[in-house]
Amino acid sequence: MDDTQNRIDAAPLPGTIELARRSNLGVQLLHFMMLNYTMYRLAKSSH
Amino acid sequence: MARVVVLGAGVSGHTAALYLKKRLGRSHEVIVVSPGSKWNWIPSNIWVGVGKMTADKVVFPLAPIYRRKKITFHQAKAVALYPEGDLNSPRGQVEIVYTDPTRVGKTVRLGYDYLINATGPQLNFAATPGLGPDGGNTVSVCTPSHAVGAAKRLAEVITNLKSGSPQTLVVGVGHGTCTCEGAAFEYAFNVEQQLREAGVRDKAEVIYLTNEHELGDFGVGGMTFSSGGARVTSEAWMESLFRERKMKAITQAAVTRIDPGVINYTQIDGTENAQKFDFAMLLPPFRGVGLTAYDRDGVEITDTIFAPSGFMRVDADYTAKPFDEWTAQDWPKTYQNPSYANLFGVGIAFAPPHAISRPYATPGGLAVAPAPPRTGMPSGAMGKVVAMTIADMILKGALTPTHHASMGEMAAACIASTGTGLRHGTAAAMSMSPIVPDNARYPDTNGRDPRTTTGEIGLAAHWVKRVLHTMFLYKAKAYPFWYLIPE
């Protein structure tokens, strides 16, 4: 039985702090650098 | 002088060709055979499909790059392999039919010492009646021209919405065995953002229709990762995102037929449903490109080299066994064909040993089983390791493959765009290690390393996706120091 839509309807929504974090330029710039480093490290260690 | 023929010029084949030429220099010959004249950065097709990027930004002509790198290019389609040669010569041969307008239809046989099959998939729209843009009732973003058609149709739907007519938009996969659910997911969210920007979101219903058993599966069995310091499943993560964007989802579905304005699908509990739509972008299932193979005497040996799906058999464990007995170690490491040591299959062209997501079927036996994704980052890695192995065989006389890249060991990062824009863009960045869960190595964390399996939603992930677009086009164009950019 596909209850996906019920689960979506009951899923938690991101709070104000989380929404602000996702678009805050300073925080996102830091995350941008971290994501790039993580991806580079994963790619170099994979083969 | 050794000759290496690469069939296909997608991420995997193009990467292999560039690394081969870099290692082999002018002393050996590298030939690329591809039916298309252009290279396409497929991940950005989704932005073309919503009208945010023009098609010319995601493609470039291959011939000038290959001319500059001294790689021979044949714009042609490979149709048959002769791995033992013929009665005149024991050298392997591949038969190609030119698609180049100057000699279209002409057939020749190319001899080779090593061959890499990187043909990618055949887009199997025919698997579902009514699927696809060519004679069907849905649009696609699989190719740049498909994506342009999708953007045009989406613009018409937005016009209808602006005139007050409610519209239903369905985005997802068009068959129970499709792969690349991540691409459909991305397109669904970009469509949703486009509707919001046009000021018509409240009049539109956006539905994600998928063969995944639950949201966040993506054909890799889902993930459990750290996000914001907490452990969370990709399923819960996606459900929250769908609620946030007021999108609906239908999972566990095998689309069986698409009539004008109606998608017919069956779910794993056997219920048969019909979903009306005004706009539908459904991805097709993939199969091999239909290469046939013959031995020295001309006897067909296609079944020896290729799996029934048309993908090439490589060094995987293809023994049939229950899903719970499959392991990460079943996955190929060298991509060498077990019958012919000078044949390799990479990217989508190799036959996966088993599904990564648990396969299901309807009571009537219809498969609802996402196929394993083998695109992007792993695809490029496979192309590189096979190129390195062949270079070692030619230059150092290596008798066995010297480089490995198993999806049971390698990590992958997936940046799923959920809306574009330098200031208001957003994306879900997911990394997983390994791609194929290794439950023996990571028994308590669903087979993946908790330190490197992570999720992140935000503007930064969109910037990363945009940077990847620029970087990979730079790398694919083989500009100076292209090889410093990892796959």
Q: Where are the domains of chain B?
A: 3-123+286-360+372-396
Is residue B229 predicted with pLDDT exceeding 80? no
In whole angstroms, how far apart are CA A23 and each of A15, B188, B422? 13, 21, 11
**Between chains, do B248 and A23 touch, taking CB under 8 Å as contact?**
no
CA distance B64 to B73: 10
In whole angstroms, how far apart are CA B369 and each of B196, B212, B267? 33, 7, 11
Is residue B415 predicted with pLDDT exceeding 90? no
Report the pLDDT value the prediction gives residue B420, as an integer from 0 to 100: 82
In whole angstroms, how far apart are CA B8 and each of B17, B123, B345? 10, 15, 11
Q: Which token pair is B264?
A: 């017919």
Q: CB-based contact (8 Å) between A12 and chain B?
A: yes
DSSP state of B182: H
- To the nearest 10°, the Cα dihedral for B290, B387, B220, B270? 0
**Between chains, do A39 and B413 touch, taking CB under 8 Å as contact?**
yes
Report the pLDDT value the prediction gives residue A46, as an integer from 0 to 100: 64
Whether A5 is covered by a domain: the verdict is: no
Q: CB-based contact (8 Å) between A16 and chain B?
A: no
Report the pLDDT value the prediction gives residue B465, as an integer from 0 to 100: 87
Q: Which residues of A touch B267 (CB under 8 A)?
A: 2
Q: What is the pLDDT of residues B315-331, one digit of tens each?
A: 999 999 999 999 999 99
Report the pLDDT value the prediction gives residue A1, as an integer from 0 to 100: 63
CA distance B153 to B415: 26
Q: What is the pLDDT of residues B102-144, one digit of tens each?
A: 999 999 999 999 999 999 999 999 999 999 999 999 999 999 9
CA distance B478 to B473: 9
Residue ranges making up the domain that contains A21: 13-46
CATH 3.40.1180.10 fits B3-123+286-360+372-396, yes or no: no
CA angle in degrees (0–180, nearest 5) for B149-B122-B223: 85
Q: Residue B197: phi, psi to the nearest 5? A: -65, -30
Whether A7 is covered by a domain: the verdict is: no
DSSP state of B253: E
In whole angstroms, how far apart are CA B154 and each of B49, B195, B279? 8, 9, 7
Q: Which residues of A touch B424 (CB under 8 A)?
A: 23
Please, are residues B307 and B318 in contact by the beta-carbon 8 Å criterion? yes
Q: Which residues of B touch A36 (CB under 8 A)?
A: 464, 467
Q: How distant is the Cα of A43 from the closest Cα of chain B, in angstroms?
A: 6
Report the pLDDT value the prediction gives residue A47, as an integer from 0 to 100: 60
Whether A8 is covered by a domain: the verdict is: no
**Between chains, do B240 and A9 touch, taking CB under 8 Å as contact?**
no
CA angle in degrees (0–180, nearest 5) for B379-B74-B290: 60
User: Beta B167-173 vs B204-209: how paired, if at all?
Assistant: parallel
In whole angstroms, how far apart are CA B211 and each of B128, B219, B242, B367, B440? 14, 9, 17, 9, 27
Amino acid at B280: A
Q: What is the pLDDT of residues B252-308, one digit of tens each?
A: 999 999 999 999 999 999 999 999 999 999 999 999 999 999 999 999 999 999 999
Closest CA to B413 of B372, B383, B447, B456: B456
Closest CA to B429 of B411, B463, B455: B455
Amino acid at B177: T
Is residue B39 predicted with pLDDT exceeding 80? yes
Is residue A2 predicted with pLDDT exceeding 80? no
Report the pLDDT value the prediction gives residue B169, as an integer from 0 to 100: 98
Whether A22 is covered by a domain: the verdict is: yes
Report the 10 Å Cβ neighbour count for B363: 10
Percent of residues in chain B assigned helix, strand, coil, to nearest 5: 30, 25, 45
B347 burial via Cβ count (<10 Å: 0-12, 13-18, 19+): buried
Q: What is the mean pLDDT of chain B?
A: 95
Report the pLDDT value the prediction gives residue B287, as an integer from 0 to 100: 94
Closest CA to B240 of A31, A18, A21: A18
Whether A41 is covered by a domain: the verdict is: yes
Q: What is the pLDDT of residues B417-432, one digit of tens each?
A: 887 888 888 888 888 8
**Between chains, do A36 and B458 touch, taking CB under 8 Å as contact?**
no
For testing the chain A interface, which of B234, B235, B242 should be mutated: the one with the most A CBs within 10 Å? B242
Report the pLDDT value the prediction gives residue B12, as an integer from 0 to 100: 96
Q: How distant is the Cα of A30 from the closest Cα of chain B, in angstroms?
A: 8
User: Average pLDDT, stretch B456-467?
Assistant: 90
User: Average pLDDT, stretch A6-23?
Assistant: 92
User: Beta B230-233 vs B224-227: how paired, if at all?
Assistant: antiparallel
- Give the contacts of A10 (CB within 8 A, at least 6 positions apart): none
Helices (H), chain A: 4-10, 16-23, 25-46
DSSP string, B7-70: E--SHHHHHHHHHHHHHHGGGSEEEEEESSSEEE-GGGHHHHTTTSS-GGGSEEEHHHHHHHTT
Whether A39 is covered by a domain: the verdict is: yes
Of A2, A32, A45, the CB nearest to B460: A32
Is residue B410 predicted with pLDDT exceeding 80? yes
For testing the chain B interface, which of A8, A23, A36, A38 should be mutated: the one with the most B CBs within 10 Å? A8
Whether A4 is covered by a domain: the verdict is: no
User: Average pLDDT, stretch B192-211?
Assistant: 97
- Our count of domains for chain A comes to 1
Whether A23 is covered by a domain: the verdict is: yes
Residues for chain A: how many in total?
47
Q: Which token pair is B228?
A: 């914001």
